[in-house]
Amino acid sequence: MNYSSSPSYRNPMQKLMLTFFFALIVSVAGMFIGTQLPDVARIPLYIVELVLLISIFFLRRSTKIGYPLMYGFMLVSGATLQFSLSYYIAAIGSTVVIQTVAVAVIVYAGLAIYASRTKEDFRFLGGFLFASVIGLIVIGLMQFFIPFDGMMETVYSGFGLLVFIGYTLYDFNRMAKEGFDESEIPLMVVNIYLDLINMVLFALRFVKSLIED
């Protein structure tokens, strides 16, 4: 495997996690920017976020392009995340949001450490998780026409939460067992970031559905 030759990063996982840390800082900066933006900026930002995500997938092998795209995605994603958090704060209160986010982050960290160190192989989950995400997207689009409420909302959000718990196990386990080189880091950082953010958002949605039920 063609890992980076830099003596500071003989362990590629070390560089990945350091990059992930800086990416989270950029995302937090994006959240601050999001607090200064009007609601009309939400849809354009979602479009820019999607374009950046697709660009990262196709241009990830070029470190000169991959890293700037990744950090640009994090900045925009942080801004869109702020819109979502503001919605949940208004709906269920800041205390519940803070508690839910804290629990989700702790669970995510625990799963990441376990999946990276365990002898268990979770790579078999890949096909099921991909199909599940497609299902979540399709059902989510259907909600524009047939809104969920009550038990259906709880089931949907609970399933989404389980899917991204599974993806956290899958992604960290796969990286630990298969290894990777530096050119793959931008996309991998985006992958594990999306695992975290989606786990947080589905956890908030699940808690909101329980409160309102």
Q: What is the pLDDT of residues 71-93, one digit of tens each?
A: 999 999 999 999 999 999 999 99
**First vs last Cα of the chain: how many Å apart?**
51
pTM here is 0.88
How far apart are alpha carbons 190 and 56 in whole angstroms?
A: 9
State mean pLDDT over 97-119.
95
Give the model confidence (pLDDT) of 140-187 as tens digits: 888 877 777 778 889 999 999 999 999 999 999 999 888 888 778 888
Which H helix or E strand runs over 1? Answer: none
Distance between CA 102 and CA 199 in Å, rounded? 11
* Phi, psi of 121, deg, nearest 5: -110, 115
Phi, psi of 83 (to 5 degrees): -60, -45
Separation of CA 110 from chain center: 16
Does 213 score more than 60 pLDDT? yes
Q: How many CB atoms lie within 10 A of CB 153?
A: 19
Query: At 99, is the pLDDT very low, low, confident or very high (cuts 50, 70, 90)?
Result: very high
